[in-house]
């Protein structure tokens, strides 16, 4: 992985994009989206994740995050991806899903040539981690995250998207606890 995407500053706040392999629209199913939301909540409560913003789109998660002092954001992300990968694939295998065989073949092929992958590779390796070093950059990323479902024509107004922190930034209460940036 390129050094430009590594989490170099342990005290930094990072804009991240975590993407499903082949950009597969897995999170169109509520059950899969809830696995991600509950895992983020667990990471907040048990692993030291500080979540500043997020938006779970059909094939990827945009988030702005940092870690509590003494905690490691890279480790939190690694554990989050490992857990959600296994749980979502398990859910796809065990529950009715019209695209089950196709998705499992894609996930299997994505991990086929990687020794560290046992059966299925769910997430792409790169998180596109970019440190939020200026107010301008951070505001741009925050606006981008929250407008993603509007641009995709999923909702008319960002704060109406359930799997997003946009409601928190418009004085409401969203799905997860957010540490507001501004």
Handedness of CA 35, 122, 19, 48 (dihedral sign): positive
Q: Is the pTM of this model over 0.85?
A: yes
DSSP-assigned letter for residue 27: G
Cα-only R_g, the chain: 16
CA atoms within 13 A on the CB side of 126: 9
Chain Cα centroid distance, residue 17: 6
Q: Compute the distance between CA of residue 132 and CA of residue 179 in angstroms, rounded to an integer.
A: 15
Residue 99 confidence (pLDDT) above 80: yes
Residue 117 confidence (pLDDT) above 80: no
Q: What is the pLDDT of residue 2?
A: 47
Range 67-95 average pLDDT: 96
- One of 3.40.50.360, 3.40.50.300, 3.30.70.1290, 3.30.1330.10 is the CATH number of 3-169, namely 3.30.70.1290
Taking all residues of the chain, what is their mean pLDDT, rounded to a whole number? Answer: 94
Give the rounded percent of residues in the chain with a pLDDT score beyond 70: 97
Domain borders along the chain are 3-169
Handedness of CA 134, 137, 141, 144 (dihedral sign): positive
Q: What is the pLDDT of residue 68?
A: 97
Q: Compute the distance between CA of residue 64 and CA of residue 54 in angstroms, rounded to an integer.
A: 6
Burial class for 105, CB neighbours closer than 10 Å (0-12, 13-18, 19+): exposed
- Tell me the pLDDT band of 1, cut-offs 50, 70 and 90: very low
Q: Which residues pair with 155 in a beta bridge?
A: none
pLDDT in tens, 147-159: 999 999 999 999 9
Residue 8 confidence (pLDDT) above 90: no
pLDDT in tens, 11-70: 999 999 999 999 999 999 999 999 999 999 999 999 999 999 999 999 999 999 999 999
Q: What is the pLDDT of residue 103?
A: 96
Handedness of CA 40, 41, 44, 47 (dihedral sign): negative
- Tell me the pLDDT band of 5, cut-offs 50, 70 and 90: low
Q: What is the pLDDT of residue 112?
A: 82
Range 125-144 average pLDDT: 96
Q: What is the pLDDT of residue 32?
A: 97
């Amino acid at each position: 992985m390129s050094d430009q995407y590594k989490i170099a500053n342990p005290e930094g706040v990072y804009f991240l994009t975590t993407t499903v392999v082949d950009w597969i629209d897995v999170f169109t199913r509520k059950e899969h989206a809830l696995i991600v939301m509950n895992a983020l909540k667990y990471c907040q409560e048990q692993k030291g994740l500080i979540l500043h913003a997020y938006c779970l789109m059909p094939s990827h998660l945009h988030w702005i995050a940092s870690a509590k002092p003494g905690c490691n954001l890279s480790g939190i992300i690694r554990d989050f991806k490992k857990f959600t990968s296994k749980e979502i694939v398990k859910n796809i295998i065990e529950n009715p899903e019209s695209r089950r065989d196709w998705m499992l073949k894609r996930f299997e092929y994505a991990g086929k040539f990687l020794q560290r992958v046992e059966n299925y590779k769910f997430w792409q390796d790169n998180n596109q981690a970019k440190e939020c070093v200026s107010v301008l950059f951070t505001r741009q990323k925050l606006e981008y995250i929250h407008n993603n479902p509007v641009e995709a024509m999923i909702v008319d107004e960002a704060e109406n998207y359930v799997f997003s922190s946009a409601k928190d930034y418009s004085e409401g209460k969203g799905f997860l606890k957010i540490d507001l940036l501004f």
